[in-house]
Structure formats: C-alpha cells, structure tokens
Structure 1
C-alpha cells in the first residue's frame, strides 16, 4: 500500500508499552508518512492514557516531528479512516491477570497469562472485544490493517481472521525476536546473515537456523544454548522462570524450542516455582503491577521525552517495535523477514488449513507470505495438534459463551488437571471475572445461586491478594 498521510490508531493506548511504540515510529520516520496517531482507551484507563499520551507528545516533539497525537475514550470515532489499527489492550486490567494466576495456583495448578487456565480466561475476555473492534472497523475503516499484539496473540488473531472475518490481520509476539538474537550471539554471526524458520503456534513454536553458506546450525545451537557444558541456559524472557530444558530431549527433537515450552517439557519444575511465588505474594502479575506503577511515575516527569530503560523489565520488550516494523513493511512492501501469526493455508502440513499459525514470513504490501514448513516429526506434531485443538475450542467458547465448550477446553489443556479440578477452576474463574464475561452470564448467575462455596472461596482468596 502507499499513502502520503497515515492515520494509526492504537487500542489500549494507555499501555506502558506505548513509549516503545512511539519510539518505533520515530525510528522509521523516513518510511512512515504519519499524520495522526490516535491513542484510545477506556474510562478505567483514562489516567494512564493521559500520562502516557503526554509523554508520547514529548517524544514526538523531541524528534522534531509535527505528527498529531490524539487521546480519546471514543473508539468508534477514533477509527474513522484509519490505515492501521494496533491492539495492545488488557480486559480487566492487571487485576484480572492477578485472578488468572492466583486462583489456579491456590489449587496447585499453573496460573499464567497465556498458558493453562489463566491463558484461556484471558482469551474468553479478549476475543469478544476484538469482535467489537472489528465491527467498528467495518463501518469506520474497512480497508485498515489490524496489527494485534494483545495476548493470547495466536487465539485472538485466529478469532479476528477466522471467526470475525478480518483477513487483513497480523498477530505479533516478542518471543521469536529474542530467540533470533540469542542464536546470532551464540554463533557470533550477525542476525541478518542467518536464515530462521519458525513454525507452530503462539508461545508454542520451534525453529531451525541456517547460515549464508547453506549449512544448518540448529544442532550446534542446541549444544551452545542447552548443552551439558552450559552453566545456565539463555532465557531472554523476563516473565518466566529459567528452568533448564532436558538436553537429550532437544537433541532428539532436532529443533530449538520456544521459551514457553518449559511449561510443557518441564512442567513440574515450572509449577513448583510458580507456587513458591504465589506463597510469597509475588506472582508475575503482582510484580508487574509494581513495575507498572514505577514506570508511570517516570512517565509523569515533564522532562522525560524518551523510552526509559526500565521498560525492558516489563517483560514485553520488542513487542511494539515489531508492530512498527510490520506497518513499515506493509506500507513500503519491504518484505521484511518476521515471525507472525497468520493464516496457515498449508504452511504447516500437519495443521488445519484455515487455522492461524505462528511462522516465519515475508511481510509484503498485501500481508504475510509464510515460508513453507512442511511436516513435524511425531514428538512435536502430537503436542502441536493437541494445543491447536484446545485453542479452537477456547475460541468457540469465547464466541458462543458455551459452558460445555469451555469445560471441554479445560479438559484438553495439558496444564489443567482433568475431572473435578477442571470444573472447579472453570467455575471459580467464571465467577471471579463475571464483570467481563457477559457471554457466560447465565452460567455465572447459576454459580452464584447454587455454589456458595465457590463464591466464598474466590472472595476470600482475592481479599488476601
């Protein structure tokens, strides 16, 4: 696409990540003829929107640019004639994440933002809102691109493309960026001189690496990163525990794992660490709340007109920069090599044709052109197909409000115990998040009327937060 005056709208504009987003645009000022940036939030996020919005204006002024920055709570009108819409919102704010983590962990079950019970509930809350945003876009900006980095990014992107029909959607995650940087560092080869092929789904992908001579370096990297001579493995992810992968397992797999595979390959150790954090009142959500409070105090400084280093501690560094690069690559047909969530269309042979996968792709003026991956070996294929079936079921529950589908998803998810525990967790989390789950309203009313022990348990637990 080509346009001389771009309008970019960010839903969740009051996010602590927004300064990185603005920095990314500024770094690409020669590629992005921006005229207007609209930062949109909800009433509950108004204060943060105003703080971060004023900082965005300072960043742009310091760069000597005349871009207009608009702050608003009126999403529908903000979307008028937008060229790109980016999404970085959190339904229920960080307090919802606290519930996602603490309620499962109180039962000795993993609580995590995008994995297990917590990840499924984040999808239940988020997917209907993506549907509402797309409904507004159909009226206000029918030709706009939707660039999503709201978690769980893969499921949200699949819902946007497959269920709400917005084909011009690309999902992003910062995790592959870190894996690329680690590989380049370990091989002592510039990142742009390596070829990476990632394939799987969001937070559940594997990758291979080649050099410019055509030699595959994957096996060597398994040794360099995860081998027995390594004192610690290179977990670049700030938000998850650095438990050691089993070297022999990765050697047999002949693939480099995603950092989040720790929750599945070494589940017991990851769960143990999460429970320890829970018992100390230091779940990731609780830590992030404190980090965000510090960031917004920094953002209030009228002299601050650049992204502070402290933002890298937030856990999502590179997210916003990736969004800026996708926009620049579409705008200029740059064909940048990136890892994105996009329609499979046969890229991974083992996966449904119309599902969304996270894969290496060239980003062109007409969207993502994925690299063909082909088939997975059984050890990866079995896990991946099970996880995709879970995702598809979560999306169906989120869209329809089907309690049966939600329970089915909890049963499929490998990080949630089956049977009574799956139902207990589902009911407790439904009640805890009732304000943001209108599609489940009838079931929640039934829980409140007939399960006083559920209501009491959740209320008491959250009081102790």
Structure 2
C-alpha cells in the first residue's frame, strides 16, 4: 500500500494533538511515509512538535516526522496539505467577539461582524499558503479547515478557479451526525445524509440508515422531548452545551429540518446578545480551558517521556474527519461527506456561483456533490441574504471597498441596522489595521 506525505499547516494548534492521534489510529488504512508540522509561531509549535515525537516513538516509530517554520521543508513533495490556520491568533479572536458585543451586536468567531473580521484576515494568508504549496507540490490535495470557511471558500474560488484539488470542509456537520448517533445509539458512519445550505448555515433534510429508513422524524421527536447534547458533551465547555441545547428551540420554531447549531445566531440575535458576556467571551473560555489543558498535557508528556495515558484529545471528530477524507480521496473510497463546493444548480433556485455546503461522494477525482433541487421561500431568503453578506465581504477585501463592507454588515442578520453596522465596522477596521487591506 502506498505511503503518503502530509503537512499540517497550523501545527501549533490545540487541535493538532487530536489530529496526530487520528493519524496513528488510521495508520493501517492510511499509512504515512512523512509528516511535517508547519507553523509561523515556533514557540507553540515546539510544544506540540516535541509531544508528537514522543507519541510517534511509541505509536508510529516508522514515520519520518519533523516540525519546521521553513516553507520549502514543509511543502516540498507533499501528497496532502491539512490546513487549520488562525491569522491573528486568540488575541484577535477575542477582539472579534468583544468589539461587536460592545455595540450590542453578536460577537462570535465565524458569524456576524466577528466572522467578517476573521475572514478578511484569513484571505491573505490562505492565498499565500496555496501559492507556496503549488510552488513545491503542484499536485497535492489541500484540505482546508480554516475559518470562516464560507468567506475563505468564496475568496479561493475567485483566485484559484481552475484548481480542483482545493477542498474546503467543516467538521460541524460531522459533530452533528455523531451526536445524532449517540441520540439513537447507532453508528453515524452508516448514516446517509441529505444536507443543503452555506457553511455554518445549513440543514439536514433527511438522514437515512443502511436500510433506507429516514431517521429525521425520530431525531426530531427525541430532541423535542429530551433536548440535545453533543456526542462529546463530557469534554465540552458550557457554551457548547448551551449551543446544542438551543437546537430544541429552533426545531420548535422551524420544524421542517434539523438545523446546524450556528443558525441560532441568525434566528435569535437579540436573545443571543443578551446571553453573551461582553467581558468574558468564548475566546476567553478557550484560552482558559482547552488552550491551557492541551499545552499543559503536552508539556506533561514531554517531561514524562511517554504519551501513555495521554488525555490531550478534545473533539476527535476534528482530527478523524480530515484523516478519513484524505483516505477516501487517496484510496477512492467514494464515501459521503458534507463539503463546500460551487453551486452550479445543486440548489436549483439560488445563483450558480454560490459556495454551498452539500453532501458529496468523495474519491480520488474529488467530490461528486448531490443536488437537492428547489428549496422553500423561507430557506431561500435566509441563504440569499447570508450569501450576499459573504460575497460583499470578499468584494470589500479585493476592492478595498468600505462601502461593500458596510453593505455586507448591514445585510447580516446579526446586525441589520446600518448605523450600528458603521460603528462596528469602524472599530473593526481600527483593530485590524495590521491585517486588512485599506478600505476606502
């Protein structure tokens, strides 16, 4: 069986240890010859990298492993690039969340003004990364987790229209599928989903078991009666438990389909603003929680010299999914995953150049997405408003247009009011001077 070369871009991420564990777990079906961690932050990466050396010595001794800040070392002769970068780090994420909240607007990492700020920062680095990869590995598959995936995917569609080996994906639909599996006491790998929408803005219309039975009615019934929790609830911070719990409210109000959890920010912006603490946001929760736990555990492993009894994994769906996606491509498995792709009639009554999120069969030639046909007026209206926000945000980046950025925020359901949008935008421009293009 062929062995593959992989680079993980954003090697110093708190998600990396779980991804490394997934590579170990899947080494028999997706064997590696070489693995490189690449990050521009050498201090963070050193901790994860030294942890990885110990992990691989025990679980993957045959693997050629190193970590680096050198692009040529990272990208040369790669088969797959796993990308999970965070431009500006948690310092800028905190501003993304707290600045909008200071004006009474949703402060969230990927939704609303915070998503715009993060997206405008991510575009430049993603374009640079892809150009660097193509210089050293022109045929590598680039599997991108970088958020906000919808804005990033739209920007990359424009810059690299002919590159068919860039795949933008998100692990939240997989988290939901696993959570449905826990709810039903079933194996989620046997589910066949039907899904439509935009990234962090979509719905499961059907979910079939291996015998072709639709499980959605049963899932709705259980959630409406007993509530909903993530599959890894015991490892989640309180904010995520609250996020999943609100799925019950969404189903009570809009019972047609099973919603992506992020839709709560668009359905209930006033309610969510009141529930969010402007002085202690999700970024603070992560920095005080997962960030500390992961790095403390990695340092403990390094000091002990063994990764046995390691408890560093959080949300293994993140690592498992990207490894399974790469394996499905490499070995032409033709499994079904929910991916982001150009619409081209998949949702027949919205524009073709939308970057939509749908189920697709995934093999060595890339995704073969599954269309859903026409969607109802309510869902079409929601999607088109959000899509306009995403496209205008990318317009604002490439055109350096203040007007387009203002239009984008005014359209976003988490903001709506143009005067409030202008205040938030001006504050975000000031905070992102080092990252955004100048908007005129």
**Taking structure 2 as the reference length, what is the TM-score of the superposition?**
0.91
Give the secondary-structure state (helix, strand or coil) at the position aligned to 1:205.
Answer: strand
Shift of 1:408: 1.6
Shift of 1:235: 5.0
Render the CA deviation track for 1:186-226: whole Å, top value 9, x for unaligned. 3343324432112111111100212344332323322211x
Q: Is the 8 A contact 1:41 1:75 kept in 2?
A: no
* Structural RMSD (CA): 2.1
Partner of residue 254, structure 2: 250
Partner of residue 217, structure 2: 219
Greater Cα shift, 155-164 or 261-270: 155-164
Greater Cα shift, 346-355 or 84-93: 346-355
Give 1:17-416 correspondences, 5 Å limit: 17-42=15-40, 45-165=41-161, 166-207=163-204, 208-225=206-223, 227=224, 229-230=225-226, 232-234=227-229, 238=236, 239-240=239-240, 241-242=242-243, 243=246, 244-251=248-255, 254-274=256-276, 277-278=277-278, 281-291=279-289, 292-301=291-300, 302=302, 303=304, 304-305=306-307, 308-309=310-311, 311-312=313-314, 317-416=316-415
Show structure 2 runs of 5+ residues with no match.
Answer: none
Give the secondary-structure state (helix, strand or coil) at the position aligned to 2:150.
Answer: helix
Partner of residue 446, structure 1: none
Distance 1:334 1:308, change over 3 A: same
Render the CA deviation track for 1:213-250: whole Å, top value 9, x for unaligned. 4332323322211x2x33x3335684543334144423
Distance 1:396 1:376, change over 3 A: same
d(CA) in 1 for partners of 2:80 and 2:309?
Answer: 22
- Runs (4+) of structure 1 exceeding 6 A deviation are none
Show structure 1 runs of 5+ residues with no match.
Answer: 444-465
d(CA) in 2 for partners of 1:71 and 1:213?
Answer: 46
Greater Cα shift, 12-21 or 412-421: 412-421
Shift of 1:308: 4.7
Render the CA deviation track for 1:93-122: whole Å, top value 9, x for unaligned. 000000000111111111100000000110
Render the CA deviation track for 1:362-393: whole Å, top value 9, x for unaligned. 11001111122112111111101111121111
Q: Is the 8 A contact 2:251 2:257 kept in 1?
A: no
Shift of 1:428: 0.6
d(CA) in 2 for partners of 1:154 and 1:141?
Answer: 25
Shift of 1:11: 1.3
Give the secondary-structure state (helix, strand or coil) at the position aligned to 1:35.
Answer: strand
d(CA) in 2 for partners of 1:247 and 1:85?
Answer: 38
Q: Is the 8 A contact 2:207 2:214 kept in 1?
A: yes
Render the CA deviation track for 1:228-286: whole Å, top value 9, x for unaligned. x33x33356845433341444232xx211111111122222222111xx22xx321001
Distance 1:342 1:309, change over 3 A: farther
d(CA) in 2 for partners of 1:374 and 1:338?
Answer: 19
Q: Is the 8 A contact 1:344 1:355 kept in 2?
A: yes
d(CA) in 1 for partners of 2:89 and 2:309?
Answer: 22
d(CA) in 1 for partners of 2:429 and 2:216?
Answer: 43
Shift of 1:423: 1.0
**Taking structure 1 as the reference length, what is the TM-score of the superposition?**
0.86
Aligned length: 425
Shift of 1:64: 3.8
Q: Paired residue for 1:6, among 4, 7, 13? A: 4
Shift of 1:57: 1.6
Shift of 1:65: 2.8
Q: Is the 8 A contact 1:41 1:72 kept in 2?
A: yes
Shift of 1:311: 4.0
Distance 1:427 1:324, change over 3 A: same
